Amino acid sequence: MVTVVSEEVREALDAHRPVVALESTIIAHGLPRPRNLRVALELEDVVRREGAVPATIAVLDGRPHVGLDKQQLERVANEDGMRKLGHRDLPLAVAAGASGATTVSATALLAALAGVRVFATGGLGGVHREWTVTQDESADLGLLARTRITVVCAGVKSILDVPATLQRLETLGVAVAGYRTARFPGFYLSDSGHPVDWTLDSPEEAAEVMRAQDALGGPESALIVAHPVPEAEQLDPELHARVLTDALHACEEEGVTGQAVTPFLLDYLVRHTDGASLSANLAAVRGNVRLAARVAAAWARR
């Protein structure tokens, strides 16, 4: 088998104990050094404090790993040239013996293949603004339409076209529910301004939906549990709106296109909010990881 599942993760899966998948792009590409490693270790510790096993996922020397030890985490955090891998890149990285951090799509795929059912991340990718011109849509959406995994996230990144993304998720048949909210969260913001049709009020309710997915035997699609960042920790909405407008103008003026758009906009927000957007991002991730561990525990009690 190409994928390496750590002994700790394999033992937990075999014993039907809760496991939570974690992506590695936030470590390699989302945070500056040395803060990135501290956050990676902190998030794993959050999972453990909730009684679950963390399974951080990355590709090292052409081998996908589900579950990393401290030395491997350090390598992802500190090694120059660590690529950013979506699910389409995985066979190329394996064949080339390359190393890379996994995005939402690659993490979800590798987690599901290993038998990990719950995945925590910050915000999903989605339909980009000006889609009618650029046709730019994250690979996350298509992958989640055909992968049976539960993703706890703070909605989609607010730099995207949120209503178009929600419509696309509906078209693809991906189940979306707000966690203790009837509003779809906006990553840095508790409320994106758009509603959700379904609300879950406990980890046990999320686990019941997962059981119903399996019982129905329908398409192998995901469940998105949209968990808002607490209002007290969100980015100030007025600051967010003003800086995002400036960021979109700067992106257009500098001719940034394709895969470079998202990192450009996110970096612009960090720099022009004096780091407040990063603080809101991390607050959302911590909350998502904690909730994911509780959902995984409820699922494990099936």
Residue-number span of the structural domain to which 82 is assigned = 1-116
Q: Is residue 298 assigned to a domain? A: no
Q: Is residue 179 assigned to a domain? A: no
Q: Which residues are annotated as a binding site for substrate?
A: 84, 104, 138-140
pLDDT band at 138 (very low <50, low <70, confident <90, very high): confident
Q: Which residues are annotated as a binding site?
A: 84, 104, 136, 138-140
- Distance set, CA 265 to CA 162, 248, 288, 302 (Å): 15, 7, 22, 42
Give the integer Cα–Cα distance in Å for 52 and 61: 28
Residue 172's pLDDT is: 96
pLDDT band at 135 (very low <50, low <70, confident <90, very high): low
**What does the block give as tokens for 244?**
């995002």
In the chain, the percentage of residues whose pLDDT exceeds 90 is 85
Catalytic residue among 70, 157, 204, 231: 157
Catalytic residue among 11, 23, 50, 208: 23
Q: Is residue 27 assigned to a domain? A: yes
Closest to 137 in 3D by CA, of 173, 93, 172: 172
Residue 23 is a catalytic residue: yes
Q: Is residue 47 assigned to a domain? A: yes
79-93, 115-129, 176-190, 202-216: the lowest-pLDDT one:
115-129
Structurally, how many domains does the chain consist of? 1
Q: Is residue 252 assigned to a domain? A: no
pLDDT digits (tens, 9 = 90+) for 229-251: 999 999 999 999 999 999 989 98
Q: Is residue 106 assigned to a domain? A: yes
**Which CATH number goes with the domain that contains 108?**
3.40.1790.10
Q: Is residue 77 assigned to a domain? A: yes
pLDDT digits (tens, 9 = 90+) for 281-302: 999 999 999 999 999 999 999 7
**What does the block give as tokens for 288?**
């998502």
Q: Is residue 33 assigned to a domain? A: yes
Give the integer Cα–Cα distance in Å for 12 and 126: 32
pLDDT digits (tens, 9 = 90+) for 171-222: 999 999 999 999 999 999 999 999 999 999 999 999 999 999 999 998 999 9
- Contacts of 101 by beta carbon, 8 Å cutoff, 6+ apart: 23, 24, 25, 27, 28, 29, 58, 59, 76, 82, 83, 84, 85
Give the integer Cα–Cα distance in Å for 100 and 85: 6
